[in-house]
Amino acid sequence: MKIAALQMVSTPDVARNLATARRLLAEAAAQGARLAALPEYFCFMGLKDSDKLGVAEPPGAGPIQAMLAEAARTHGLWIIGGTLPLVSPDPQRVLNACGVWAPDGSLAARYDKIHLFRFERDGAGGRERYDEGASIRAGRQPTALAVDALRLGLSICYDLRFPELYRALMTPPCDLIAVPSAFTYTTGQAHWETLLRARAIENQCYVIAPAQGGRHENGRRTWGHSLIVDPWGEVLAVRPEGEGVVLAELDPARLAEVRGQLPALSHRCL
Please write the tens of the pLDDT for every residue from 70-79. Answer: 999 999 999 9
Asked if residue 226 lies in contact with residue 238, where contact means CB atoms within 8 angstroms, the answer is: yes
Region 2-267: CATH code: 3.60.110.10
pTM: 0.96
| Dihedral over Cα of 251, 259, 179, 241: its sign | negative
Question: Does residue 129 register a pLDDT over 80?
Answer: no
| 24-51 tens-digit pLDDT | 999 999 999 999 999 999 999 999 989 9
Alpha-carbon gap, residue 121 to 142, rounded angstroms: 30
**Vertex 11: Cα angle to 9 and 16 (nearest 5):** 100
pLDDT at 125 over 80: no
Q: Active-site residue numbers?
A: 40, 113, 157
- Distance between CA atoms of residues 36 and 114, nearest Å: 23
Angle subtended at Cα 132 by Cα 88 and Cα 188, rounded to the nearest 5 degrees: 135
- pLDDT tens figures, 235-257: 999 999 999 999 999 999 999 99
Instruction: Please say whether the beta carbons of 87 and 59 come within 8 A.
Output: yes
**pLDDT value of position 123:** 64
Q: SS3 of 145, please? A: strand
Angle between helix 14-30 and 63-75 (nearest 10):
10
| Spatial separation of the C-alpha atoms in residues 202 and 264, rounded to whole Å | 8
Radius of gyration of the chain (CA): 17
Every domain of the chain and the residues it spans: 2-267
* pLDDT per position as a tens digit, 95-106: 999 999 999 999
